[in-house]
Structure 1
């Protein structure tokens, strides 16, 4: 038996030992299990894989998936259909009819008491004049389409602005994590040194306890920074408008708009915004729509002139001729004429519509002026914020420089026993705060630069697709 076991052939399939006495079905089943586990583990690894996402990719994805932008595109398509309808109103309307009628003359007693007729007719109607309503409706459709197109462009700019802002916020949170991590590492190292000093009798136990408390605080700050980073990434994904499996990794974008100096002359910015900002242009087109609606409402006081023409034939079974002769020759007819409809008294409906349209135009003008005032305020605030951000960067750099010097000095004094731990802890806290303030100032300057372009109305995909290295 031992010899038989020695001679038994052993086959190994991907780590599984299969004896020769196993059947083919068992081997196939085992192979399928191995393959399934391999594929399943590969898919799990793919799902948990960290995806790198650049700013360009984030913006492009948001432009494809954002629901608000899809609604804006639908509005444009709807206006295009409306414009097509208004153009088709200039075409004649052609209608064909066919009917069969069974008649009964109760006053007759002959064979013609019951008879039937068949009639077919094709007629066309073309409006020659409708009080300029068709022209006004076409103008309104043109302006309405133009307004929706500008509104779509502004919605696109809004998506780009929101995505860029959220992305920069993620970058800021990531950099603050690095500061918190370095601070935690430094505090842990310092705790080891103070513990050694305490064991050597150089510092009291209170210094060790105080440093342990600072290390715990640094650990808490690091956890909070990580949590803020995760929240900022979730907000970015929410703004993009799509679910992304696994985690994402961002990178500091190297884009021209982040390094260029924007226009800071408020008057020139406002004048440029009045000429280029899409939502303002959309409201201007909307005012033109209301003007066309006034003309359309006023068309009710004019006459309407229509050209009518048609031809047809009929068949009557009481006649001796057969169906073909009656329909093709005997009963064939045609006509052409002009109909005029003149309003005499419409219960002041036209006047009411005109007054309502005028009120709508006044409201549109008020909305337009409100937006112009909003643009003045937004650009004024954006320029002021940008200038403040530039000054904040210089101040934060200066503060960081001197806190680094102070930290180095106090640390050396503490090691010599001249300074106490409270001074060292305070100056280290100031240094961490200075580093975070510098990061915030740099990110804030980027955001304020983007804001100026956005409020000016010329923020577009070209600002992020045309990348230039710093």
Structure 2
């Protein structure tokens, strides 16, 4: 068994090294950890976390410092209302702070909207992960299905080779004709060609799964065949599955959260109608030096010119060229758009569940019929094989019976994995983990 050595690109997933095969759950976890779309969604979640932090910190004061250096040269107006040529140097230092006291509830509503956007981003990761998990499940079952077909082709080859060996012995004993050996050798060649075809299909299925897992090649990928694949029972109805899906589907949760965030956006826009109140404070001093005059020392001026200020500022909106009114209208339209999106997702989900349910019902019926047909064809093949070996049936009859059995077995396998996957889809919609 080849070693599978892989390191996931996202933090928090352990390094897995060693000879092992992957179960369905491990395949899903690996695909989710490596998938670019999921990782992009995780980056979006981190961005929303930062946006929420910014919204929470919007109530904090804003503090800044300033330093100005001015130089004035040439003629200027003096205190005597005359003009004189003088050079003036001045410096000023200051620290100021501003803090919002009331913003028309804008800050609080923006914080709530940021919280909803963060929840939506988190649910979006889950939505992408589950969707990817369903793709991996389908590819995983396809590999198992192709494995069974390949094994069936190998079994057919072994039976053909046994018949060929038996006929060689009969010909040597003078109890069979050469034409029968030619027919047997033809069957061996056909079975060998079937194995080549089934190996190709198996490799393609393995390639598709490896691409979902972000493997460079499928050569190092091995999957675990379950000890037994129990066929689950169908739910009572599509409506029963839909009732379970409504409160659990991440896509619906994302749509609902974004609708709530849009509603909060209306409140944010309406804050433009309300007055705002802010508190500001400042500390500062300055220094002047004018040519032709006696100027106090820098340190004395800085100390003597020190001043502080404290102010409350009330801003009352009167007319803003309908900017706030239009912002509110845009926000309301966004709410309507998100509500329609949510409604559309519910309808789409219901249709998908209906299709999945009736496809599962049809797959169950096909599997039952195919299982019965395989049992009948197997009995027929056993009888024809005995007649053929006893010389009471020719090669054409044997080939026909074997072909019918092979087709019936293939149809049974197809129906089996189709029904298994269809029920997995229903479990997926009902909120059960894929494993």
Distance in 2 (CA, whole Å) between partners of 1:192 and 1:371 is: 63
Aligned mate of 1:278, from 250, 256, 272: 250
Match of 1:23 in 2: none
Cα deviation, residue 408, structure 1? 1.1
Q: Is the CA contact (8 Å cut-off) linking 2:206 and 2:218 kept in structure 1?
A: no
Distance in 2 (CA, whole Å) between partners of 1:254 and 1:89 is: 58
Q: TM-score, normalised by structure 2?
A: 0.86
Match of 2:136 in 1: 163
Aligned mate of 2:402, from 422, 428, 434: 428
Match of 1:6 in 2: none
Which residues of 2 match residues 29-428 of structure 1 at below 5 A? 52-104=21-73, 106-107=75-76, 113-194=86-167, 207-243=180-216, 246-254=219-227, 260-261=232-233, 263-318=235-290, 320-328=295-303, 330-428=304-402
Aligned mate of 1:438, from 397, 406, 412: 412
Classify the secondary structure of the residue corresponding to 2:216.
coil
Distance in 1 (CA, whole Å) between partners of 2:393 and 2:373 is: 21
Structure 1 residues 330-371: Cα deviation after superposition (integer angstroms, max 9, x where no partner): 211111222233333333222222222222221111111111
Cα deviation, residue 372, structure 1? 0.4
Higher helix fraction: Structure 1 or Structure 2? Answer: 1
Mark the CA change 1:225 to 1:395 in structure 2 (over 3 Å): closer, same or farther: same
Q: Is the CA contact (8 Å cut-off) linking 2:75 and 2:83 kept in structure 1?
A: no
Distance in 1 (CA, whole Å) between partners of 2:51 and 2:398 is: 73
Worse-matched range after superposition: 296-305 or 100-109: 100-109
The gaps in structure 1 that reach 5 residues or longer are 1-42, 465-470
Classify the secondary structure of the residue corresponding to 1:179.
helix
Q: Tell me how many residue pairs correspond in the alignment.
A: 415
Q: Is the CA contact (8 Å cut-off) linking 2:242 and 2:429 kept in structure 1?
A: no
C-alpha RMSD of the superposition: 2.9
Distance in 2 (CA, whole Å) between partners of 1:388 and 1:427 is: 27
Distance in 2 (CA, whole Å) between partners of 1:220 and 1:51 is: 31
The gaps in structure 2 that reach 5 residues or longer are 6-17
Q: TM-score, normalised by structure 1?
A: 0.80
Structure 1 residues 376-421: Cα deviation after superposition (integer angstroms, max 9, x where no partner): 1122222222333333332222222111110111122233443332
Match of 2:13 in 1: none
Match of 1:21 in 2: none
Classify the secondary structure of the residue corresponding to 2:321.
coil
Cα deviation, residue 195, structure 1? 5.3
Q: Is the CA contact (8 Å cut-off) linking 1:264 and 1:383 kept in structure 2?
A: no
Cα deviation, residue 445, structure 1? 2.7
Worse-matched range after superposition: 396-405 or 414-423: 414-423
